[in-house]
Amino acid sequence: MRLVLVLIAAGLAACAPAASPPPDDAVLVRARLVEPGGARVFALYCASCHGETGNAPGTPAVMGPRALDDFDSEPGLRGFVSRRMPPRGTLEPDEVSAVSRYLWRVARLR
Amino acid sequence: MTGARVRAGVVLSVVLVALSLARPARAQACCTATGSSGFGVVGRCHFAALAAQLAYERGHGSFDARGRYRTLRGAEVDDVVLSLGGGIRLGTPAWQIYGSVPLRLQYRDLGGLAPAGAVGPGDASVGLRYMAVEDLVTGIDVHDARTFVPFVEPFVGVRAPTGRGPTGSKTPSGVDATGDGAWTAFAGVAVTKFLTLRDALVLVGSWGYRFPHDVAAAGGGARRFSTGQEVRARLAFVRVFNLFWSGSVFASVIFTSDVAQDGQRVPYSATRRVRFGASLMRYVVYPYWKLGLSASLDPPIEGFGQNIPFASASVACLVQRNFTW
């Protein structure tokens, strides 16, 4: 009986969307100090879905190991953010630049 | 329920909690901490929030005018409070409007009086809040002055006498008194400082002015009744364990000044209430749905209260729906 319950619990946990690994604390701190404007934009407009550490379940990871490997440069990331993010509403061009620099910084520091 | 089923339930709960804690997710720190400074307040990274809280309070004693505590003997004081609240940002992340409305179910069995119950709205409040200064949420680094800057959020608001005040009560036990009975205008500031990436101190202080109101006098006519000024302070330590779980411990104090009748101050009528508590929050559907449990207590210790007819212990559960940009 107990084994069955443990298996059910493990199954439920497996079905729930899991978060990908977050970036290191030290990386986050350094990126926030170097790009405070981008960190602020991310916290205000992006963190509610992606999580403050960019690895929330149910959304694409934007921080952490291999998170931005699909982008080969910061301008490429900036173009994507400017076209697609956030899903509702828009960011000002300077906000797009700032948040892209911040995310790229986190990716490069890892 | 059999012993085996109870044990199985415990095992299941432990496994679920352990698996949840083991997920490699990191803190949702600033949304959690900035939203914890008041019921219905929108966290920094959210656009809006709706919350409902159900609380049960049980009276355990009272404090007299000199701060002496007496246990309630032969009396029963039970309240159930359903609070609905929420907030929304006003077009810009810096400004938000928020408010709450309580509905109170009260029961009094005060020995010598017939037991009685009453249902009614409590005092509704609405506030306007501005995020004036922002923390970098890096934790404190002694070598970098920027990391000492906290979130600073001044706020103003009003509390309306939607509940019946004590002077308007129509029952001997006052069971139908569900509010202050006066309009209150308040102003204050919430300061949130991240000591580390996941640990924050939240200090909220406010001052309120309770407007005088007329009360029918026993022999006809009316008396001008002023319930004085009010000062509130709340200090909380918030720990964000991971993306899903957070907890806090807090202490709060509320002072009200002496009451005045027809301009004459009534001595020894000021009140003081000190309360301690703890809460645990859990995102159940990230980032939208959050559940919370909390418990708080007026400590039955001399000096921790003054003119508090019913010091109480309470437990509450909360469900909150967050909305994103």
Which tens digit of pLDDT belongs to each residue from B204-256?
A: 999 999 999 888 877 778 888 888 899 999 999 999 988 889 999 999 999 99
**Is A6 a member of any domain?**
no
Q: What is the pTM of this model?
A: 0.85
Which tens digit of pLDDT belongs to each residue from A6-26?
A: 555 555 444 445 567 788 888
**Is A10 a member of any domain?**
no
What is the spatial distance between Cα B265 and Cα B246, in angstroms, rounded to a whole number? Answer: 45
Contacts of B217 by beta carbon, 8 Å cutoff, 6+ apart? B223
Chain A hits for B139, Cβ within 8 Å:
29
Output the six-digit token pair for B161.
């006498």
Could B286 and A58 be called an inter-chain contact, meaning their C-beta atoms sit closer than 8 Å? yes
Chain B: residue whose CA lies nearest to A91: B325
Closest partner CB to B44 (pick from A9, A36, A44): A44
Closest partner CB to B24 (pick from A13, A19, A45): A19
**Does the complex come out with an ipTM higher than 0.85?**
no
What CATH superfamily is the domain B26-323? Answer: monomeric porin ompg (2.40.160.40)
Could B243 and A40 be called an inter-chain contact, meaning their C-beta atoms sit closer than 8 Å? no
Total structural domains within chain A: 1
| B199 phi-psi bin (left φ>0, alpha ψ -120 to 50, beta other) | beta
**Is A3 a member of any domain?**
no
Q: Residue A67 sits in a domain of what CATH number? A: 1.10.760.10
Answer whether B145 touches A (CB < 8 Å): no
What is the spatial distance between Cα B26 and Cα B153, in angstroms, rounded to a whole number? Answer: 25
What is the spatial distance between Cα B139 and Cα A25, in angstroms, rounded to a whole number? Answer: 10
**Interface residue of B15, B90, B147 to substitute, partner A, most A CBs within 10 Å:** B15
A to B CB pairs, distance under 8 Å = 119
Please spell the DSSP secondary structure of B142-187, one letter per residue: TT-GGGGPPEEEEEEEEEE--SPPGGG--STT-TT--S-SS-EEEE
Could B138 and A33 be called an inter-chain contact, meaning their C-beta atoms sit closer than 8 Å? yes
How far, in Å, are A103, B46, B130 from residue A43 at the CA level? 12, 9, 17
**Is A12 a member of any domain?**
no
Average pLDDT per 10 consecutive residues for chain B, totaling 325 residues: 59 50 55 78 91 97 96 94 96 93 95 90 97 94 95 97 89 90 96 94 96 84 87 96 91 96 92 97 89 97 96 97 87
Q: Locate tokens 């411990």: which residue? A: B249
Range of the domain at A88: 19-109
Looking at chain A from residue 34 to 93, which residues have their Cβ under 8 Å from any Cβ of chain B?
36, 39-40, 43-49, 51-53, 55-58, 86, 88-89
Report whether B303 contacts B67 (CB < 8 A): yes
Closest-CA distance of chain A to residue B207, Å: 29
**Is A48 a member of any domain?**
yes
Could B15 and A22 be called an inter-chain contact, meaning their C-beta atoms sit closer than 8 Å? no
